[in-house]
Structure 1
Amino acid sequence: ITRNYDGVLSGKPYTFGGSLLRPEATGYGVVYFAQEMLKEELEEEFVGKICTVSGAGNVALHTIEKLQHIGAKVVTCSDSEGTIYDPVGINLTLLRILKDEGRRLSLENYASQVPGSQYIAKSDYPSGGHYVWNIPCFAAFPCATQNELTLLDAQTLINNGCKAVIEGANMPTQPNAIELFQRMGVLFAPGKASNAGGVAVSEFEMSQNASMEKWSYEKVDAKLNEIMCQIYKRIALTAKEYGKERNFVDGANIAAFKRLSEAMILEGV
């Protein structure tokens, strides 16, 4: 009302009032959202399911970590130069060593150290597509960069029986690919909802600062899981209410607009 707004700094080091789980939050949150969506929409779990993940940065690494923790088999990762396909499952320990902030080595080193794995250079990708999405999977997690998943990739995923696509990066799926997923009945979770875990833990950080508390790792993790499930349920219910069942893009947009407009009206804007 006064139009005075105080800035807030989040993502601080733990010693200076930061929260536990902040680096992991986006990737973990992506998986918590996906878990709830699959349970409610398909009555499925990730145990034993093959998943493909693009990227090898913070979001991708923690998405892989949490997927493995709940029993999924993640068989891909990628960087700007190429893709790793490991049919046995990604060796996360080795991947972390290669992609340590101080080193950032090529994924080609992974294939040279893991028998049976395959490195595909970017120059060998299909024209208009990304090799990661050529691998048959139950669920795909684009966690690398904007517009990485093309219409060709979407058609390939559908042809190979993919049941769900969950965005970890910001807008990694091209609009025509999203339309195809929705038309063909593939569950599609937009990043504006599924990758909200980082923002959620930033909110937890502010709550801890305001109350002069330090939450345990277990408490932060449990609350992150809870809020990602709430986000899924809110957008799923909103989509259904407006005749857009299973359209989580429209559900997220409408739910966000309603919440923002109600706040603006209450403030007298």
Structure 2
Amino acid sequence: MTNAKEYIQQVQQSLHEKDHDQTEFLQAVDEFFSSIAPFLAEHSEYQKHNLLQLITLPERVIQFRVPWQDDNGNWQVNRGYRIQFNSALGPYKGGLRFHPSVNLSILKFLAFEQIFKNSLTDLPIGGGKGGADFDPKGKSDNEIMRFCQSFMTELAKHVGPNTDVPAGDIGVGGREIGYLFGQYKRLRQYDAGVLTGKPLEFWGSKVRTEATGYGVVYYVKHLLEDKKDNFKDKTVVISGSGNVAIYAIEKLIELGAKAVTASDSNGYVYDPEGIDLDVLKEVKEVQRERLTAYAKKRPNAQYFDGESVWNSEIQADIALPCATQNEIDIKKAKLMVANGVKVVAEGANMPCTMEAAQYFIEHNIFYCPGKAANAGGVAVSALEMAQNSQRQQWSKDEVDKQLDDIMLNIYHNCRDTAERYGQKDNFMMGANIAGFAKVAKAMLAQGLV
């Protein structure tokens, strides 16, 4: 039997040869492999049973066409996907993303990350992800409804409350979930537990919309408390202006911090007085406008067209990348450290390149990877599943308290696991090993399946 590092290299090389065109997926795998050797060295049984080969291959990859008709009567078609990656801990759980960038590589990376994120919540859910290369922007409600109905017509064959429970992601909010749920009901009859992120009127969960943003702030709150610190008077730089960013800002304000930025695909806004949450919600949630509209409503705010917030020289204590994958490279990471950032917590999935993440760790920045820090969204999705099963709807305070407790447990698990393997405050190692350990044990117990 080869040693753990050699075994990892063999599996890594095989994946790079077979999936050489899947850049994002390979990046996620390489980041995972970078820190699990000490754990595998302790558990030779996982190497003996070739568990890394098994866990890096999806149980099922579903691809289908999604035909739909636009408002002008023209026939359109998009590619739809569902990656059912690992069900060792429970039914597949992970969002649906509607965005032009969606492809097999991106969804495999997201589903792979989801395995360990879901494991860290200590809730009975496996890892999956799905979506389509459809762009909701610029589409009418009727076009989006027709697309969602066509998408669910095929997806309904593969999902169910005890099999695979999708949620929302980029481009899939309450409106899209509503249309998807309606079509599932039409095809399979009513079952509240088949989708999460539903509107409250038909058994959605309170705090689900806020959960990912609240969760990433709770994770950092527990980190700061562990270091005898808190959010009071901290300056925070944030990317994104969707649900994650908006509700991270809301919780930051509640805890005494000041968020000074938000961004969209066209640029970013800097508001030195602190982002005005009411104005941001009005612009993004009601008017569905770009951030230029925010800048027009706030006299001291500046909008930087075509720029990344991570290229700025804004001094900040904490950074929360909440937009999309690979928005922070090594050059931006160095600038962030020079700007005084001490904590980087990922509200998005894999927003930092591997080089950037390693730079933060090597320079004693508290780097909190997405599979730990942004697990609040899927955690409340699992709580929504529990409420649906009980035919109950819990109060906002009850769900919020459970979310905070889950994020505290995730933080402790990452911290304690890293310390056990001699890497104090290396939350990337802690998250990878802690997430993998539970899944690996379940896979071995269930046999060669």
- Residues 206 and 395 in structure 2, CA contact (< 8 A), matched pair in contact too: yes
Partner SS, residue 237 of structure 2: strand
Matched residues, number: 261
Any conservation in 2 of the 1:77–1:132 contact (CA below 8 Å)?
A: no
1:84 and 2:263 aligned: no
Partner SS for 1:83: strand
Paired with 1:132 and 1:86, the residues of 2 have a C-alpha distance of 16
Structure-1 separation of matches of 2:262 and 2:269? 5
Alignment counterpart, residue 302 of structure 2, candidates 100, 115, 118: 118
Give the drift of 1:172: 0.5
Matched with 1:250 is 429
The corresponding residue for 1:142 is: 321
Among 103, 107, 115, which residue is 2:291 paired with? Answer: 107
CA-CA distance at 1:214 after TM superposition:
1.7
Deviation at residue 108 of structure 1 after TM alignment? 1.8
Name the TM-score, length of structure 1 as normaliser: 0.92
Counting only pairs closer than 5 Å after superposition, residues 186-201 of structure 1 correspond to structure 2 as 186-201=365-380
Q: TM-score with structure 2 length normalisation? A: 0.56
State the SS of the aligned residue for 1:168. Answer: coil
Q: 1:206 aligns with which of 358, 381, 385?
A: 385
- Inter-partner Cα distance in structure 2 for 1:49 and 1:130: 18
Match of 1:54 among 228, 233, 239: 239
- Structure having greater relative contact order (Cα 8 Å, sep ≥ 6): 1
CA apart distance, 1:217: 0.5
Deviation of the 1:261 alpha carbon: 1.1
Structure 1 residue 59: Cα displacement: 0.6
Counterpart CA distance in 2 for 1:225 and 1:253 is 21
Match of 1:240 in 2: 419
RMSD: 1.9
Question: What whole-Å deviation, never above 9, does each CA across 1:102-151 have from its counterpart, x for those lacking one?
Answer: x33221222222122111111xx4xxx64565311000000011111121
Task: Tell whether the 8 Å contact from 2:310 to 2:328 is kept in structure 1 after alignment.
Answer: no
1:72 corresponding residue in structure 2? 257
| Cα contact 1:120–1:131 (8 A) shared by 2 | no
> Superposed, which structure 2 residues align to 1:125-204 within 5 Å?
125=307, 130-131=309-310, 133-204=312-383
1:132–1:31 distance in 2 versus 1, CA, 3 Å: farther
Q: CA 1:57/1:132 → structure 2, altered by over 3 Å: closer, same or farther?
A: farther
1:38 deviates by 1.5
1:7 pairs with 2:138: no
Equivalent residue number for residue 37 of structure 1: 223
- Residue 46 of structure 1 deviates from its aligned partner by 0.4
Decide which of 264, 282, 294 is 1:97's aligned counterpart: 282
CA contact (8 A) 1:78 1:132 kept: no
2:212 aligned partner? 26
> Which of 1 and 2 has greater Rg?
2
Native 8 Å contact 2:414 2:434 kept in 1: yes
Shift of 1:92: 1.1
SS in 2 for 1:119: strand
Contact 1:83 1:132 in 2 (8 A): no
Aligned partner (choices 407, 412, 416) of residue 228 of structure 1: 407
Q: Which runs of 5+ in 2 are unaligned?
A: 1-87, 92-161, 166-193
**Matched residue of 1:45: which SS?**
coil
Q: Which amino acid aligns with 1:242?
A: Y
Secondary structure in 2 matching 1:37: helix
* Greater share of residues in strand: 2
Contact 1:52 1:132 in 2 (8 A): no
